[in-house]
Amino acid sequence: MARTHTVTIHDRQTGRIYTVEVPEDRYVLQAAESQGVELPFACRNGACTTCAVRLLSGEVDQPEAMGLSPDLRRQGYALLCVSYPRSNLQAETQDEDEVYELQFGRYFGKGKVRRSLPLEED
């Protein structure tokens, strides 16, 4: 039987705080949903940032979190849809656009996109 950890999540969008028990062999999002907690999510496979949280305390294992750079993981960000708890956790949801900007902002927002060639008419 897998160890179970207490996970407390502050949903910044609704202002609600949820506390759930999550076994080490289940994803946090999956366990929260089975306990009646509705949290933001989209893809469920670690490719987007809709379910991103910032860990305030605790550790997760998220080997399938391809939607987060190693740098953001080191800064304490996690994707609940593919995170296994490795201790008791405290986390807060993040705005998807904030996380996206943290991850990709240096590549975008450098001014208008200009076409080098005119579009052909059909």
pLDDT tens, residue by residue, 47-90: 989 999 999 999 999 999 998 999 999 999 999 999 999 999 99
Query: How many Cβ atoms are within 10 Å of 75's Cβ, its own excluded?
Result: 12
Estimate to the nearest angstrom the gap between the alpha carbon of 109 and the chain centroid: 23
- The full set of domains in the chain, from first to last, is 4-104 (3.10.20.30)
Residue 107, pLDDT above cutoff 80: no
pLDDT at 120: 62
SS3 79: strand
> What's the pLDDT score for residue 119?
60
pTM above 0.95, yes or no: no
Contact 27, 39 (CB under 8 A): no
Total Cβ atoms within 10 A of residue 91: 25
Between CA 118 and CA 121 the distance in angstroms is 9
Residue whose tokens read 């579009």:
119
Per cent of the chain over pLDDT 90 is 72
